[in-house]
Chains A and B, each alone.
Chain A
């Protein structure tokens, strides 16, 4: 597609519920990133894929967070047993290559845990 597409745009989850957030990157983009942005803060790195390989997951805040990109294109970020502190905007970005390439960001998924 022309841009990075994220769905859903908004998600309200009850505490303890599992959620799945989807990112559809630009076709052919090798690198895919997930970031978490709390209200009023800059984005914080969660995880990075190079094609289907998850090369860095050092930013995932707990083992309740899991991400995959099985075919090297679409990625899913799953959060199990959601907690209120998980409320944030989850941003996906893709990049053509590895290293200092430009990024294209999706519009984000705003997750609210009630």
Chain B
């Protein structure tokens, strides 16, 4: 079992829909990251969370440390949001900053 699990693996939405991507992890962490990767592109860091909730534009990320769960929400989705969204954690053991990644959620937003 992976230490970081994401769901769904694939997601298709129509423009304007509210989208939720979930992440569960099984290790103690010092931070959780949401990342975005476009096809053929590098990775962009969206959020780093250790508690609570963060918002940036149409993106909202929440984390529940007790339940070891995080969600990424996209409001009023747009085709340009189409990308792979990756959840990653910084475990609080081992190499201080090393990230452990989920396998990603592939999002396709259609007109």
Contact = CB atoms under 8 A, between A and B. Distances in A.
A33 interface: yes
Interface residues of A, number: 28
A102 B48 contact: yes
A43 B101 contact: yes
A103 B33 contact: yes
Given A100-B90, A107-B41, A48 B104 contact: no
B40 to A, nearest CB: 8
Interface stretch (A14-22, A69-77, A78-86, A91-99): A91-99
A105 interface: yes
Contacts of B99: 33, 35, 43, 45, 93, 103
**Chain A interface, DSSP helix/strand/loop, else mixed:** strand
A100 B41 contact: no
Interface residues of B, number: 26
A44 to B, nearest CB: 8
A34 B97 CA distance: 12
B98 A100 contact: no
Max count, chain B CB within 10 A of own CB: residue among A6, A91, A93, A98: A93
A1 interface: no
A106 B104 CA distance: 18
